[in-house]
Structure 1
């Protein structure tokens, strides 16, 4: 675990209004480290797994910058966040709407509550604005090719602080004439942050195109641009140390962004065991677990004590490197079944069926978590 948002606002790392936006969210350690780098004006790359909150690191950094600048940057695009797929843009846009809702709810008069059940986000935001008589001070929008002309015209007249887009649309904004010239000029006159989400997807020819695009933006921008990247694990090596892996990510990031990113600006995830380490694993106990049929009604507490689940976490999912838990290289279910078969001396087919049942059980348990 890292700091709470409130602590970072009290220490001056983040703007005080961020606690209204993030509801005093308790950060993970990698989020804490990245946000502190961002608050110092440093570029950074976060490498961690899916669902680990990578986007919060750059959102908090950019939000804080916008709130600190206040009305001096009205209608000035400060940040462009580039995603490889429109589905990710749509999802992130919804997340920012939730942040907007949080901010507005924090302004409700004392004793006044708001019932958001059975209402879509846009409806909630509209009603909350009417109740509190306030607006979210951070303007955001997406430009992907999905929007109608009315929406695009609205962004031309009132440019957002944060623009969500994909790299092809960003390329078009920077090159084609017509009405996009207004957006292009606003970007180049004001941009301070350029973020690439899912950095590992930009490889080969596409990676070269993106690198050239970034250099063109930086060459024509009025201000120095801070580049930020997020990625799943970019380096898969069984021999490289953690430091060597960070150095390689820094090298790749520097090449893509056309900047000088150091090892200290690479933020890795910090892992803990998901089902604890209280169970000692023996081949006899795992063999017994494999031969016993899984009951899908068993509880999470029973899952935590299940010997196959513990064997999988210790031998397939995680390993200790330099005193730190790290992810192992992914394996197919069939390969995992072969390793389990070798360990407990049961045929591979039975092991594979058992693993599939175990994963189904885990999926059912996860579906019941709020």
Structure 2
């Protein structure tokens, strides 16, 4: 047996590096089946990170039975014992983490341990007060949760091609990897119609709603219908970040590869990335043979106007630029927004065709929850007019069209209470349809997902689980803890059940805000 007295190793117990050295020494002894006693006598102000590194990580290497047989702790204060138990439990829980809620808890526990490692307070009363504040979530309040809504699907690209709204070749391009035709949402159809009319427009819809198709389908249509001149850029698409450029480039490459593999002929749309990441030889190729579409950022768009070697990319003759697209339009505000608005005017002066279509895409741009649909569209249109220098009207603003994913009808409090009890006890369902018909699913979607305004559905602001549990308890007469357990289980289950239309029965987002610390 070997006894290890911590004060002989260090007089400061807040560093992971010191704890790591001691732990490695202990592990070497345990690997040789040597019994070890860790003496905490005189060790004060141990940080959570120190204890986790020293004791918690040992539970990742050895089983609890081995640790109970070979490792003993002595002279640990009650506070230190409680800290050790908490760090061990966190390590054990982390091994069993399987859901987003487990991951969230582990991340906050790690951050809590990180924050506490900087707190060394000698006065017991002040230290207890600070730790109570941390335990009560003073720096990290309850997370907000929002269920991602379902979008109204209208028609496939094959159906639109059969009706004459799309070129047949467009329908062959926009297909899934398995060959299935894209099934377009209402806002994508609305954008296509605006482009067919030659009108400029702004699309505001959520993440994952296919906003890029609201401009790529019209651009492909223009190419296939002979509206692109040889050797001239038809569309300039401007993104606020290179990461978005690269993501879109990859999506287009996938469409191209699938099309050429499936049909054995060249992809009809020529496109290129033109950013600071573009190599010199690629730039020369682009300049010599301009593509139909250039994906770029606003800084490079500015340089394209002033560099003589890029002048061929942006010119009015013979036909000029037909599409000017700004993705994530809401990011251009303040001083940067003014700079970009002036850039747009210079681009138009240099290269715009007479019938240039201005397109903006964005997440929701109006934060006021009381604003009506008309007020939201007016606000977005006013912003777009200032940005583009073009008379964009409220009717040119296309909002997302949301629909309920659940199938449930109004139920009695007793029926809802029965569904809550079953969920709290871990009930599982075998099919997507059974999940979407469950009364609790409809309640969750109504609280975290959708609300009605002006006869249309809109996103409900994110809510906390405790607020939802309180409301559900009031409606069902059940305990708040039961309702909370039911909500966590049912949301987790919804995120695991696959849906061909939506990806998952209930996809949702967690929003965790972390406050900056202040002086005590």
How far 1:365 sits from its partner (Å)?
A: 1.9
Q: Secondary structure at the match of 2:184?
A: coil
Q: Name the structure with the higher strand share.
A: 2
How far 1:343 sits from its partner (Å)?
A: 3.9
* Partners of 1:286 and 1:238 in 2: CA distance: 30
Q: 1:274 aligns with which of 405, 420, 431?
A: 405
Unmatched tracts of structure 2, length 5 or more: 1-152, 176-180, 505-520
Residue 201 (structure 1) aligns with: 331
Identify which range, 76-85 or 219-228, moves more after superposition. Answer: 219-228
> Residues 96 and 278 from structure 1, CA distance in 2 versus in 1: closer, same or farther, beyond 3 angstroms?
same
How far 1:201 sits from its partner (Å)?
A: 2.2
Q: Deviations over 1:266-291 (max 9, x none)?
A: 11211111122336262662475167
* Partners of 1:179 and 1:344 in 2: CA distance: 70
> Residues 306 and 186 from structure 1, CA distance in 2 versus in 1: closer, same or farther, beyond 3 angstroms?
same
Residue 170 (structure 2) aligns with: 18
> Residues 338 and 216 from structure 1, CA distance in 2 versus in 1: closer, same or farther, beyond 3 angstroms?
farther
* Partners of 1:188 and 1:327 in 2: CA distance: 45
Residue 444 (structure 2) aligns with: 312
Q: Deviations over 1:150-202 (max 9, x none)?
A: 22222122211101112222223223x36444444589973111111122222
1:72-221 to 2 correspondences below 5 Å: 73-107=229-263, 132=264, 134-175=265-306, 177=307, 179-185=309-315, 190-221=320-351
Identify which range, 326-335 or 255-264, moves more after superposition. Answer: 326-335
Identify which range, 346-355 or 157-166, moves more after superposition. Answer: 346-355
* Partners of 2:276 and 2:292 in 1: CA distance: 19
> Residues 191 and 276 from structure 1, CA distance in 2 versus in 1: closer, same or farther, beyond 3 angstroms?
same
Identify which range, 142-151 or 76-85, moves more after superposition. Answer: 142-151
> Residues 27 and 187 from structure 1, CA distance in 2 versus in 1: closer, same or farther, beyond 3 angstroms?
farther
How far 1:240 sits from its partner (Å)?
A: 2.5
TM-score (structure 1 length as normaliser): 0.81
* Partners of 1:335 and 1:83 in 2: CA distance: 38
* Partners of 2:450 and 2:476 in 1: CA distance: 19
Identify which range, 98-107 or 192-201, moves more after superposition. Answer: 98-107
> Residues 147 and 349 from structure 1, CA distance in 2 versus in 1: closer, same or farther, beyond 3 angstroms?
farther
> Residues 98 and 333 from structure 1, CA distance in 2 versus in 1: closer, same or farther, beyond 3 angstroms?
same
Q: Secondary structure at the match of 1:45?
A: strand
> Residues 322 and 186 from structure 1, CA distance in 2 versus in 1: closer, same or farther, beyond 3 angstroms?
closer
Q: Is structure 2 residue 134 aligned with structure 1 residue 2?
A: no
Answer yes or no: is the 8 Å Cα contact 1:320–1:326 preserved in 2: yes
How far 1:220 sits from its partner (Å)?
A: 2.2
Q: How big is the alpha-carbon RMSD for the aligned residues of Structure 1 and Structure 2?
A: 3.0
Bigger-Rg structure (1/2): 2
> Residues 89 and 341 from structure 1, CA distance in 2 versus in 1: closer, same or farther, beyond 3 angstroms?
farther
Q: Secondary structure at the match of 2:251?
A: helix
Aligned length: 343
Q: 1:33 aligns with which of 177, 182, 190?
A: 190
